[in-house]
Structures are given as structure tokens and as C-alpha cells.
């Protein structure tokens, strides 16, 4: 059936809360207000205030409650109104959620999902338009997921809720209204597995989350030039499906990485390093990257578009790879 990205997330949470009484949702405005982006619409009425819990504006506090409840056997879904606000809870995520299993000698798993909107949001300015996935990918003990389609959002969130490790689940703020086909029957998608969105032979384009949409928007121009790209959606950033990346690179011999994040010490720079260390003999050109400009996100709409990846930047990079 056709379903929006936000509806797919709601379906995943609803099905998992129906399946397991230990699963509950907690965060700012998830209940009475139906979610800041209406992802949890109707869930308070369905599950009640003990399982759909409105919290104060205190990310560090309710993230800590989530970690503690997971240690005690529950399976919390903790929603940040935006991942920009997760920086207030950084200590809980990095020093408690990610390290508890290791520091307790395997006694305390933390089966918690921390989710909410991330990336640029459309004239929300510098403090509210940040792609922070590289912050969390850097930390061992966390799983990091960044779905780009409604189907992947649903299947990956269900797998994340069932996982016994803390999961950082970053939803693109501008994809909530995106619609796509989602299977009618219940399904899950394995974490750590990339998806080849398009088979091709001339070059590999790697993306995730909203960056995949930038690539798909540019695809008609790429095809018009006669080039046949293979497009890989990583979906999970930690663990990373290195084998899917290497397999594609060895076939196409050229690589472009497109991401919303800043260039320095990013997920894309890590992937470029992996490719050049493991596929160097297969490369016919240097690995290229298209990313946000190395500046805080501007507020003005025209400057925001110039700062982000766009078809002009992607076509320029593809042309350089294919020349």
C-alpha cells in the first residue's frame, strides 16, 4: 500500500507496542499534541498515558530515564523533537547508553531506540538544521540508522525496537510527507544491510537519508548524458555494509558519495577511506564527495539551497568522474 514516511514510522511503533507490552514511547509532545511532526498521532488514545509518555523539555533527563528503563527490562522508544536537541543529552547517549553493556561486563543491555527528525529542515537556521550522524557513528556501542524511504523507515524501525542494543534512528525532517510503497504484511529489514536502489555499470553513487533524494532528483540528468549509475542506499551507518559497497565499486570502478553532513570527519570521509584502502586497485578515478558546505546552515532559503547538495553539484562531480 502507499504510505507516507510518518505513517510508516507510526505503523512500526504501533505494531511493536501491540506485540510487546514492554515497548513504550516517551518524549516531548508525543502524547497530547500527537507528536511535533504528528508521527505519534492517535497513539495516546490507543495505548494510554503509561505507554505514550509526555515529558518535560529536558532531553538529558528523559534520555536518562530511557537508559535506566532499558536496563531494567523495558524497551523504550525515546523521541527527540529534533536531533539537534540530542546534543543536550549527549552524555546520556555516549557515556551511558553506548557503554553500559561493555562496562557492566555484559550484565546490562540497553534495548532503547532514540529517534526523531534530523538534517536540514527548511529555513530552520544553523542550530536546527544539522546532520549529526557522524557524531554517533564515531561511538562504539551504538547502532546508527538513517532511512530514506517509507518502506525502509517501517522495516528498520521495527528491527531497531527488537534489537538489544541502543539504536540512534535519524529521520529526515523533510521526508515525513514522502510517500512510497510499503508491504501490507508485517515485515522487518535487517540492520546493517545496504540496499541497491538502482543497478548500473558506470559509477557507484552512495547516499543515505535525504541525500538519496538529492541523487534521485539528479538521476534523469545523469541518464540523459548516457551514464548508467548504480545507486546504493546505506540505510544503516553503523554497522556499515562494507561488502555491498566494495562489490559495487569493483563493478563500476568509480565512486561518488553524497551526504547532507559537513565534509570534515564525516560518514562520507570514512567511507572514502575504506574504499581507497580496500578497493584501490579497482578505482579508475579518485573517490569524490558532495556534501553540505563547510559552514553553519544559513537561514535564507536561497543560501540554504546553495549550502546543501544539489543537482548542479552532483552533475559536476559525476562529469569529473566520467571524464
Question: H helices within 163-300, ranges in order?
Answer: 210-224, 242-252, 267-278
Question: How many helices and strands (H and E) does the chain possess?
Answer: 12, 14
Give the count of alpha carbons within 13 A of 171, CB side only.
32
Q: Are 145 and 96 in contact (CB under 8 A)?
A: no
- Contact residues for 47 (Cβ-Cβ < 8 A; gap 6+): 17, 24, 25
**With DSSP H G I counted as helix, E B as strand and the rest as coil, what are the percentages for the chain, rounded to 5?**
40, 20, 40
Residues paired with residue 204 on neighbouring β-strands, in sequence order: 230, 255
- Is 185 one of the catalytic residues? no
Q: Are 30 and 45 in contact (CB under 8 A)?
A: no
Question: H helices within the chain, ranges in order?
Answer: 5-19, 43-47, 59-71, 90-91, 100-103, 133-137, 150-162, 210-224, 242-252, 267-278, 301-307, 311-322
Q: How far is CA 24 from CA 28, 142, 160, 207, 266, in A?
A: 14, 20, 13, 31, 32
CA dist., res. 189 & res. 170, Å (int): 16
Q: Are 8 and 154 in contact (CB under 8 A)?
A: yes
Which one from 59, 173, 259, 260 is the annotated catalytic residue? 59
Which one from 79, 128, 173, 260 is the annotated catalytic residue? 128
Q: How would you class 57 by CB atoms within 10 Å of its CB: exposed for 0-12, middle for 13-18, buried for 19 or more? A: exposed
- Is 59 one of the catalytic residues? yes
Active site residues: 59, 128
Amino acid at each position: 500500500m502507499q504510505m507516507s514516511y510518518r505513517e510508516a514510522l507510526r505503523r512500526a511503533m504501533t505494531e511493536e507496542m501491540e506485540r510487546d507490552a514492554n515497548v513504550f514511547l516517551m518524549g516531548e509532545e508525543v502524547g497530547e499534541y500527537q507528536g511535533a511532526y504528528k508521527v505519534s498521532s492517535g497513539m495516546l488514545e490507543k495505548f494510554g498515558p503509561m505507554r505514550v509518555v509526555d515529558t518535560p523539555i529536558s532531553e538529558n533527563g528523559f534520555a536518562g530515564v530511557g537508559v535506566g528503563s532499558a536496563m531494567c527490562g523495558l524497551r523504550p522508544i525515546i523521541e527527540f523533537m529534533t536531533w539537534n536537541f540530542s546534543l543536550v543529552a549527549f552524555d546520556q547517549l555516549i557515556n551511558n547508553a553506548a557503554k553500559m553493556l561493555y562496562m557492566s561486563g555484559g550484565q546490562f543491555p540497553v534495548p532503547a531506540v532514540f529517534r526523531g527528525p534530523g538534517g536540514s529542515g527548511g529555513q530552520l537556521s544553523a542550530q536546527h538544521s544539522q546532520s549529526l550522524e557522524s557524531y554517533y557513528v564515531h561511538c562504539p556501542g551504538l547502532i546508527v540508522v538513517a532511512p530514506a524511504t517509507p518502506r525502509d523507515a517501517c522495516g528498520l524501525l521495527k528491527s531497531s525496537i527488537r534489537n538489544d542494543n541502543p539504536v540512534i534512528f535519524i529521520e529526515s525532517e523533510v521526508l515525513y510527507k514522502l510517500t512510497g510503497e510499503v508491504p501490507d504484511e508485517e515485515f522487518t529489514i535487517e540492520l546493517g544491510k545496504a540496499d541497491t536502489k538502482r543497478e548500473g555499470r558506470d559509477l557507484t553513487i552512495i547516499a543515505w537519508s535525504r541525500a538519496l533524494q538529492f541523487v534521485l532528483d539528479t538521476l534523469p540528468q545523469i541518464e540523459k548524458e548516457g551514464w548508467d549509475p548504480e545507486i546504493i542506499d546505506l540505510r544503516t551507518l553503523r554497522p556499515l555494509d562494507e561488502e555491498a559497497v566494495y562489490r559495487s565499486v569493483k563493478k563500476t570502478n568509480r565512486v561518488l558519495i553524497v551526504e547532507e553532513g559537513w565534509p570534515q570527519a564525516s560518514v562520507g570521509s570514512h567511507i572514502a577511506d575504506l574504499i581507497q584502502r580496500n578497493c584501490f586497485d579497482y578505482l579508475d578515478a579518485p573517490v569524490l564527495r558532495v556534501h553540505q558546505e563547510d559552514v553553519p546552515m544559513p537561514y535564507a532559503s536561497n543560501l540554504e539551497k546553495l549550502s546543501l547538495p544539489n543537482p548542479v553539484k552532483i552533475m559536476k562531480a559525476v562529469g569529473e568522474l566520467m571524464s
